[in-house]
Chains A and B, each alone.
Chain A
Amino acid sequence: MSSHREAPGISKDPVADNTDLYAFVSPDKPEWVTILANFIPLEFPAGGPNFFEFGDDVTYDINISNDRSRDTDITYRFRFETVLRNDETFLYNTGPISSLNDPTWNRRQFYSVSRVQGGAETVLANNLACPPVNIGPRSTPDYDVLASAAIHTLKSGEVVFAGQRNEGFFVDLGSIFDLGTLRPFENLHLIPSAAAVGVDGTRGFNVHTIALQVRKRLLTKDGTMPTDPASRKAVIGVWASASRRSATMLEEGGEGVETGPWRQVSRLGNPLFNEVIVPMADKDRWNHVPPSRDTAFAKYVAHPELAGLLPVLYPGVFPNLAAYSKERADLEAILLTGIPSGVIAGFQNFTGTAPADMLRLNIAIPPVNSPNPFGILGGDLAGFPDGRRPQDDVVAIELRAIAGATIPLVDPSFTPDAAASLLTDGTSESDNSSPFTSSFPYLGSPVDGYDSIPPGVA
């Protein structure tokens, strides 16, 4: 998956597990940037009575670098608190929930938002209400009304939302982790079978989203709103993280203490980075350090394991890739430094030569009316790896890049194999259970528990 359960350690700690990160110029508000940080992988919608929620004992951060470096300059911080209204029931709700203040809603979450800049933390808002999870037609009969009520505009100007949404990331999990099978091409696989259509393995599941919409000028170093894509001020690096207290002590009876410094336990910049680039033995370490320490992981980008596996798994399909032994400067630019000026006409998202896994967004590139899901590979400069939009097919883009489709950007002597520009797992945005929305928070309404269908049930 993009970063769902991608490392052994964090796979056992779902509430702190970053799953996806999106950063894009808001299509309906071009002077604003939207950042979506998803957590809690594979929420089965019917999973009550203790439904999914953010962790009160986790700090969630959205980090932004705006000075052409890999250091964090601005952090938006979210902390949650769960409140029980009725301690004499086992139920999440004791009747239909018709508003965020409905007395029938027993287990509610609230959160604070703060902005950290220059070493100082400023609390922007407290006691912001999350929406409930989507339970079903009796409990949450008008879910979209509840979700809309949970969109908050802060006095400082930012717009925020924190709560359940439909999983927007589409991927054929079942095939990819069955020895790298891509169903549309599995007739060419080392262990062949008939080609088939892709199956979206995350369909029907939900996630928890922290959504932030900010005016561009609040994100730039000098408070301006760049309009020239060539300007170094136009590029921001974005990554999200979750932290836990360094010390936890459990006492008899379930009580306990959490104290000490907050320690990062999960992070996410580019989709699939820790998932398919970093070896399993190093994945936990990667989650515990910031991008400013990614020099240690750059070797995995320079010689990605998957680029070596593709010619083995698909015999005879990738001869040019198999013969390519140079460092993958194309992937280093896409994932670790940003793409410098002069490589792609009219585009750059370079943040310096120091390697760091961050989403890099050129905020001077305006949104387009008809996004191409293949982003820059499809000629759409407003899509991945220029930030990431929900509809970007990052699985296909990264598969094609790793297969060699982007090598000519930095090494014109290389001719990609014909298959490199065709690779896909066969899934698309249309496989999602709920359509993306045209306005904040853009991810679709969560699937409700009553109507959800367990895997394997027709």
Chain B
Amino acid sequence: MADLSRRQFIGKGSIGVAAGVAALTLNPQGAIAEAATGGERNAPVDPSEATAGEPIIAYVKQGARGEVRLMVGSREIVHRDADLARRIIRASKTS
């Protein structure tokens, strides 16, 4: 008879993802900017911002521009790092 909420469930499932993405070390020289997107002003603010153990999803939409978008907590960070983008794209082509 254990209490189990969906958020707790998702939290348990996220541990593996955090570890996997941690291998993608960010270039400290890479340009980082908060994404400026429509509706941002009204976007809900999560009181519990990203912590060290929180999962990160990296999104490469336009690799040629060296842009990697990082979803973490309630933020989207636009990270400009051509080398990182290239390495992610290269990794995606390995079998």
Residues of B within 8 A of A56 (CB): 5-7
| Interface residues of B, dominant DSSP | mixed
Closest to B47 in A: A121
Q: Does A256 lie at the interface of the complex (its beta carbon under 8 Å from any beta carbon of B)?
A: yes
Residues of A within 8 A of B6 (CB): 56-57, 81-82
- Closest Cβ of chain B to A339, distance in Å, is 25
Whether A261 contacts B75 by the Cβ 8 Å rule is yes
Binary B-proximity of A111-124 (CB < 8 A = 1, otherwise 0): 00010100001010
A259: which of B1, B43, B44, B56 is its contact (CB, 8 Å)? B56
Whether B72 contacts A260 by the Cβ 8 Å rule is yes
CA–CA, A241 and B39, complex, Å: 11
Residues of B within 8 A of A59 (CB): 44
Whether A83 contacts B14 by the Cβ 8 Å rule is no
Residues of A within 8 A of B56 (CB): 259
Closest to A292 in B: B41
Whether B35 contacts A259 by the Cβ 8 Å rule is no
Closest to A291 in B: B42
B3: which of A61, A63, A85, A292 is its contact (CB, 8 Å)? A85
Whether B44 contacts A61 by the Cβ 8 Å rule is yes
Q: Does B90 lie at the interface of the complex (its beta carbon under 8 Å from any beta carbon of A)?
A: no
Closest to A119 in B: B45
Binary A-proximity of B66-92 (CB < 8 A = 1, otherwise 0): 000001111110000000000000000
Interface hits, A283-324 → B, CB 8 Å: 288-290, 292-293
The number of chain B residues touching the other chain, given as a range, is 35 or more
Q: Does A86 lie at the interface of the complex (its beta carbon under 8 Å from any beta carbon of B)?
A: yes
- Closest Cβ of chain B to A365, distance in Å, is 27
Closest to A103 in B: B1
Interface hits, B34-64 → A, CB 8 Å: 35, 37-47, 54-57, 59
Whether A247 contacts B57 by the Cβ 8 Å rule is yes
Q: Does A178 lie at the interface of the complex (its beta carbon under 8 Å from any beta carbon of B)?
A: no
Q: Does B23 lie at the interface of the complex (its beta carbon under 8 Å from any beta carbon of A)?
A: no
Interface hits, A248-263 → B, CB 8 Å: 249, 251, 255-263
**Residues of chain A at the chain B interface (Cβ within 8 Å):** 56-57, 59, 61, 63, 71-72, 75, 77, 81-88, 114, 116, 121, 123, 241, 243, 245-247, 249, 251, 255-264, 288-290, 292-293
**Residues of chain B at the chain A interface (Cβ within 8 Å):** 1-7, 9-10, 12-14, 16-17, 35, 37-47, 54-57, 59, 71-76
